[in-house]
Amino acid sequence: SLHIVAKVTFSQEMAAKHVQYKGIKFPPGYNSVDSLCFAENEFQVRDDDIFNITYPKSGTVWMIEILSLILRGGNPAWNQSVLNSLRAPWFTTQLGLETAHNLPSPRLLTCHLPIQIFPKAFFSSKAKVVYTMRDPRDVLVSYYHFSKMCIPFGDPKSFNHFLERFLSGDVPFGSWFDHITGWMKLKGKSNIFFISYEQLQQDLCGSVKRLSHFLGKDLDEAAIASVVENTSFEAMRKNNMCNSTELPKEFMDQEKGTFLRKGICGDWKTHFTVAQSEYFNRVYQEKMWGLKETFLWEQT
C-alpha cells in the first residue's frame, strides 16, 4: 500500500475512542497498545538512526522534508517520488514499524512520543534526535484545524472547548507542556538538537546548515540552496509526497481543511480573544517557569 494508514478504516465513532497508553491518549486505528508497547520496550535502535521528534503540529512534516533532503545531499528526487511516511516512518504504528525495519541505514524515524515512553534502547545508543518545537498558541490553532480534517484525532468541537482540553493535556499525545519539559531535560547532550518552528521561519538557510552539521553532512552552498528551495511552504504544498493529499479520505478529509494550512507564525492572534490569551498566559507561566529557558515566541 502507498501509505501506512491506507489499510485502516476509520469512523467518527472510532475516533471518539482513543487508544490509552500509560495515561496518554493516542489516535486509534494505526496506534495500538501493542505497537506503542513494542516501540517503547523492544524497538531496536541503530547507532546511526536519526529521530525526528515533535509534539503534533510543530513542524513535523517540514522537518521530514528538510532531513530527507539533507541526507540526499540536496537532491530532491527522493522527496518528490516517495511518500514522507515511507522516508521517515512512524515506527510507533504497526505499518510504520515494518517500513522502519526494512529501511537501510541511516534511517529517519518520526514520532510524537513524550520522552517517558520513548524507545528504551535509544538511551544507550549513539542515535541522534532532532526535536522541533513551536509557539504553543500556534500549535493549538493548527491542532484545532487539523483535528477537523484528520478523522482519528476526533472533532474538536468549539475553539474554546479545544483550548481547555489543550491546556489540561486532554488531547492526543498528551500535554504540550509535559512534552517540552520532558524532552528539554536532555538539553546539553551532544546527540540531541533542539530547534523551533520560529527559527526555521526566521532563517531556514542557517537552520539547514546547522542541521547538516549536526548530522555530519556538511553540504556545499548549492546543496543547501536546494534544501531551502524544496522545503518552502509553496514547494511543499505542490509536492503530493508530503502535502497529505494522497492519504485516504477516511483518514484525512481534504474537504474539511488543508494540511499545509497557513504556514505562518502568530496565527493565534486571529483566533484568541483577550480573555483566552490571558488565561493561556497564566497556565503557560505556571507550567513553564521551572524550565529557566527563553523561547523566541515569548517575545510576541
Residue type, 120: K
Q: Does position 179 bind ligand A3P by CB under 6 A?
A: no
Distances (CA, A) of 209 to 75, 117, 129: 15, 31, 16
| Residue 231 interacts with ligand A3P (CB under 6 A): yes or no | yes
Backbone angles phi, psi at 171, to 5 degrees: -140, 160
With a CB cutoff of 8 Å and minimum separation 6, the contacts of 296 are: 135, 196, 198, 199, 202
Instruction: Report helix, strand or coil for 136.
Output: helix
Contact of 157 with 36, CB cutoff 8 Å: no
**Binder of ligand A3P out of 98, 164, 233, 286 (CB under 6 A):** 233
Contact call for residue 61 and ligand A3P (CB under 6 A): yes
Residue 271 as a binder of ligand A3P (CB under 6 A): the answer is no
Q: Considering only the stretches 97-105, 177-185, 245-253, 255-263, report the one whose residues sit in contact with ligand A3P under the rule CB under 6 A.
A: 255-263
Based on the shown chain and the rule CB under 6 A, indicate whether residue 62 belongs to the binding site for ligand A3P. yes
Q: How far is the CB of 289 from ligand A3P (least distance, A)?
A: 26
**Out of 229, 256, 267, 284, which residue is the one contacting ligand A3P (CB under 6 A)?**
267
Q: Smallest distance from the beta carbon of 41 to ligand A3P, in angstroms?
A: 26
Gap between the Cα atoms of 245 and 59, Å rounded: 17
Confirm or reject binding of residue 176 to ligand A3P (CB under 6 A): no
Beta strands 50-54 and 108-111: pairing type? Answer: parallel
| Residue of 38, 35, 39, 34 lying closest to 51 (CA atoms) | 39
Rounded-to-integer distance, Cα 162 and Cα 219, Å? 42
Surface-to-core class of residue 277, CB atoms within 10 Å of its CB (0-12 exposed, 13-18 middle, 19+ buried): middle
When binding is defined by CB under 6 A, the residue of 263, 271, 279, 291 that contacts ligand A3P is 263
Residue with cell 505497537: 35
Active site residue 3: no
How far is Cα 224 from Cα 234, in angstroms, rounded to an integer?
17
Nearer CB in complex with ligand A3P: 120/266: 266
Q: How far is the CB of 299 from ligand A3P (least distance, A)?
A: 19
Residue 229 binds ligand A3P (CB under 6 A): no
Q: Considering only residues 27, 56, 74, 136, which one is a binding residue for ligand A3P as defined by CB under 6 A?
A: 56
- Of the pair 46, 261, the CB lying nearest ligand A3P is at 261
72 touches ligand A3P by CB under 6 A: no
Residue 196 interacting with ligand A3P (CB under 6 A): no
From candidates 210, 256, 262, 271, binder to ligand A3P by CB under 6 A: 262
Contact 162, 177 (CB under 8 A): no
In whole angstroms, how far apart are CA 114 and each of 63, 181, 214, 217? Answer: 18, 10, 22, 28
The residue (of 120 and 169) whose beta carbon lies closer to ligand A3P is 169
Site for ligand A3P in 17-36 (CB under 6 A): none
Catalytic residue among 3, 18, 101, 112: 112
Enumerate binding residues for ligand A3P (CB under 6 A).
54, 56-62, 138, 142, 145, 231-233, 236, 260-263, 267
Active site residues: 112
